[in-house]
A and B are shown apart, each in its own frame.
Chain A
Amino acid sequence: MASTSKDSVPDGDKVAGNLGDDLEPGACSDSILNPEDSFEEFASELTPNLQERNILTAKSSTISEIQSEIGECSQLHGTKSSDNLQSKDESISASTSSSNLLEQNGDEADDKDDYLHSPELVNKEKHVFILSSAGKPIYSRYGNEDKLAGLCGVIQALVSVVEEQNQDILRSISTKDCKVVFLMKGPLILVAVSKSNESETQLVMQLTYAFNQIVSVLTLTQLNRIFEQRRNYDLRRLLSGAERLIDHLLIFMEKDPAFLLGAVRCLPLPEKSRENITNAITSTCNKIRDLVFAILLAGNQLITLVRMKKYTLHPSDIHLLFNLVRSSESFKTAESWTPICLPKFDATGFLHGHVSYISEDCQACLLLLTVQRDAFFPLSQAKHTIADKLRRSNCLVAINDALNRNKELPTTNPLKHIGIPEIRHFMYKCKSTAQLFTSDPICLDKLQDYRLRHKEGGDITEKKITKLSDIEHVRKYRKFCSQIHCTSTPAKLIFRSNSDDTILAWITNGFELYVTFDALMEKDQAIRAIDRLLHWIKREEERIFIMNAPTF
């Protein structure tokens, strides 16, 4: 039994009326995050024309803008950390991918054909391949890139045939049970092969994130220059050690609803605690002139973000920072000083980050991002000052309580406190602030467990999972998310009730809501439950969300 969106709209309006006098939960006048709509961006990736494809230069450099405002432009002329290629690289062979293929003898070809059919590759539900426009393998989610050189040659041939003969761009290939999505980004070709229920737009989003992860490590400027100078360059040399970042990113993109919705989770904290944390950072850093962002995060969740006036961060850049911290154990044992490119903020150059965990007994990580590459010691001193302030004001205890899912906190198990037993799961996104809240915040233990299990797998599985969490609900919501954001026939409300469960997806100007109910719920009953849910989120919004946008 399914209802069309037309039938549902009147009921939606009725519910909206109840909230008419209030802003939607989580909304506030300022936002630390840039809420620019991710869906429109990814959908537009599906329609660029051929000439625009190769132009990937940012229109202006945000980092240069900050430097000129500070008035140290002449001093910082050399700040951008783009490497020039070593002269020894001139000796690299200029042979093309196609000639490499021709050179293979029959035995080698047979071996590689066997490899392409090996269980190691065939059993996976999802593949991601990244290659250069010359057909050289750069990254593969599974398997050995060297053994995939032939496959990369085929991919490159497909792309170039469509481009040269048809003056067109290869977007996707679909079979009965499999979907192949192509994304061309300057000198790189990214391909996702999926047997899951993800839509083309969702797969393009994931490939875009993978591309942005590479930009984050290299900068777009350097990436473009490398391939301008040497089309056949083996990018794996520069990406050595970064495969881990891409691996982790791909794992979590499939599971964490923050990626699906283009939003950021915040660690629920008492309003006073978050205020104290923000004040500790602001009072310590307000005299450090080159500092652009100070970010405190924990467990894939944002605790606070303090920024230079005028500048905000896009959720996808925050996701890359989460990925950086999550993928690196080393930040726990030492202070790090590292170049970081945030592609949405400025794809052309590096910010320089002091990255360190706030304390041995608190799993919160502080990132201090500056345009000044020689600012390590002032930032190191600032970090220690902030840590002392947080300890004295008991903020570390509040953070640990939230991270350890203290059972007394209402946001640890929202369904229990809301008192609506028919709701099994929900996820709520406030659109104006790009912040996300779900009924089952992913805790550190679960992430770790998932990571360990995932090492063994990635295989297609028929297992029946008895208790679903965010990780499993995201799979169900993908289809609804895709339908509700469909550019040709967008829906505002989708309601589907069957013997397994009842799912409602609702999008308004202010928020996006996905709810899973018990099976065979009636629509009226569901609408009343949602009304109560929204009121509860509104009541708890000061704890759940970051309700202001502090600056230095």
Chain B
Amino acid sequence: MSESYEYLFKFLIIGSAGTGKSSLLNNFLGNKFKEDRCHTIGVEFGSKIINIGGKSTKLQIWDTAGQERFRSVTRSYYRGAAGALLVYDVTSRDSFNALSNWLRDARTLASPNIVILLVGNKKDLEGSREVTFTEASQFAQENELMFLETSARTGENVEEAFLKCSKTILAKIETGELDPERIGSGIQYGTGTSKKLAAPKKPVKPPSDCACNV
């Protein structure tokens, strides 16, 4: 796999055990949905190159185990992440109630500029729903999170979740809010981009003046 890309974004998938984090990753990577999935042990790694706003971007995704005993392992991955999917299960009130703890970890351990998308998974199980869209949307607003409901089984909104998060990261780079050069931003220039030799100037003019040539 020697495909070139302009940016590399480091992503986390976090949330309680059993909410479908690994199925989201598998669906995004193009693998088939598995009904009886066993728990993730430690962390799992996948990567994929997507196109965002005309820019080839490699997403480096860490799918973390939700069990308590892996907390010390998975916490070490918060530092240096550019984006995170914070996943709960719409059919599990407990997983929604646990979001505050996961969010606190993210706010404490990750970069302050990390982009977090709240993901309500298992949207297809409407008959077992325990968390309404409205309630979760309100939680997202109160905590300044983006929000989407997905189904890893049907694939609905799975790619959209990663795209939405990535687009927001890219927008922050272009406005100068996120500096790829800074250690811990979770962003790297890719193999297709030559790094600027001089220290990058922060843009003082409109974004259209930014020159991003391949």
Contact = CB atoms under 8 A, between A and B. Distances in A.
Interface in B28-54: 29, 31, 34, 37-46
Given A333-B26, A334-B25, A376 B69 contact: no
B95 interface: no
Nearest to A82: B72
A265 interface: no
B45 A380 contact: yes
Interface residues of B, number: 27
A81 B46 CA distance: 23
A66 B81 CA distance: 31
Contacts of B71: 83
B43 A337 contact: yes
Nearest to A243: B39
A82 B73 CA distance: 10
Interface stretch (A281-289, A321-329, A410-418): A321-329
Interface stretch (A31-39, A233-241, A540-548): A233-241
A336 B45 contact: yes
Given A240-B17, A240-B67, A336 B72 contact: no
A244 B70 CA distance: 16
A146 interface: no
A238 B68 contact: yes
B63 interface: yes
A353 B45 CA distance: 13
B39 A244 contact: yes
Interface in A225-277: 237-241, 244
Contact of A218 (B22, B25, B37, B69): B69
Interface string A334-366: 111111000000000000010000000000000
Interface in B91-128: none
Contacts of B134: none
Interface string A366-388: 00000001001000100000000
Contact residues of A: prevailing secondary structure: mixed
B72 A241 contact: no
A217 interface: yes
Contacts of A333: 26, 29, 31, 46
Contacts of A334: 22, 25-26, 29, 44-46, 63
Contacts of B208: none
A335 B44 contact: yes
A382 to B, nearest CB: 14
Nearest to B63: A334
B213 interface: no
A329 B37 contact: yes
Contacts of B42: 336-339, 353
B76 A373 contact: yes
B206 to A, nearest CB: 38
A336 B26 CA distance: 13
A81 B39 contact: no
Nearest to B77: A337
Contacts of B40: 330, 336
B72 A81 contact: yes
Interface of B: 17, 22, 25-26, 29, 31, 34, 37-46, 63, 65, 67-73, 76
25 contacts: A81-B72, A83-B69, A238-B67, A241-B38, A241-B39, A241-B65, A241-B67, A244-B39, A327-B38, A328-B38, A330-B41, A330-B44, A333-B31, A334-B22, A334-B25, A334-B29, A334-B45, A334-B63, A335-B45, A336-B41, A336-B43, A336-B45, A339-B73, A353-B42, A376-B45
The 3 closest A-B CB pairs, nearest first, are A338-B42, A241-B39, A334-B44
